[in-house]
Amino acid sequence: MTSRVSASGLRVVFAFISAFLLPAAFGQKPADLFTKAPPDVDEALRSRVSKFYQAQADGHPRQSEQYVAEDSKDYFFEMRKPRILSFEIGQIDYADNFTKATVLTKAQMYVKFPGFDKKPLSMPVKTQWKLVDGQWCWYIDPDTLNETPFGKMSTSGPPTGTGGILPDISHGPNPESLYRQVRADKQSVRLKSSEASSDEVIISSRLPGAITLRLQANDIPGVKITLGRTQLKSGESATLSFHAEPRPGVSRTGFTAVVVVAPINLAIPIHAAFE
């Protein structure tokens, strides 16, 4: 059975700020051995990060506030937050004599678009933490916050507590205008059940800055899905290829593959149907 994906399905906003989501590995690098935190420091941070995410997984995001630095609470209140189903703390990079850290966490969350809205996606999430009065707290680094596909955004407006200044995006591009600049040339592909077949989708970017593409797809027996490129600059394109081999006696059903675009937090679903 073939399902159609509406154009609005291409414009999926994961609620985290762009700087938080990125395709990243969770393995430890050899260099980490020289910056390994003392066990008590690492344990304290992991405990705070776990409680921060567990409150959201339990459906009580407001309880996460107690783990947010005072200078970042205004931003935390205003940002839209996805419903996290589960999480797993991955790599932690420490800095400034173990008083700051960048934490990569693998989070399971739902993305609402036709054909894939009942299956959670696993998304890597990057957050920043710092020691405040002996406690690890989630915070926003204004320098990181201002990095966008358009370069570094200027800042204006009043400071938020003792922290930095939030960027003025009132005259900047809105999400819809960003999403229209990263496009797939079609929303579905067609494969054959009885013979070898292939199809492809071209994903192109007109954003001034670089973007990263990541393929999210289940393993389908007899089907190979490949993404030709994972980094695109303005004016470049990548090919998402589908190839299916016949599986005698096996009933073929349609499926959906997703290309996640960072840092604009766009998910592009491509539905594959068999005929």
Percent of the chain with pLDDT over 90: 37
What domains lie within the chain, and their CATH numbers?
Answer: 15-172 (3.10.450.50), 177-274 (2.60.40.10)
**Is residue 274 pLDDT above 60, yes or no?**
yes
Report residue 254 as tokens.
Answer: 């349609």
The per-residue pLDDT for range 162-178, each reduced to its tens digit, is 333 333 333 444 555 66
| Top mean-pLDDT range of 31-40, 67-76, 191-200, 208-217 | 191-200
| Distance, CA of 207 to CA of 186 (rounded, Å) | 19
In sequence order, the 6+-apart residues with CB closer than 8 A to the CB of 43 are none
For residue 44, give the H/E element and its range.
helix 39-57
Return the SS3 of 139: strand
Per the prediction, the chain carries an average pLDDT of 75
> Cβ(85)–Cβ(110) under 8 Å?
yes
| Distance, CA of 116 to CA of 49 (rounded, Å) | 29
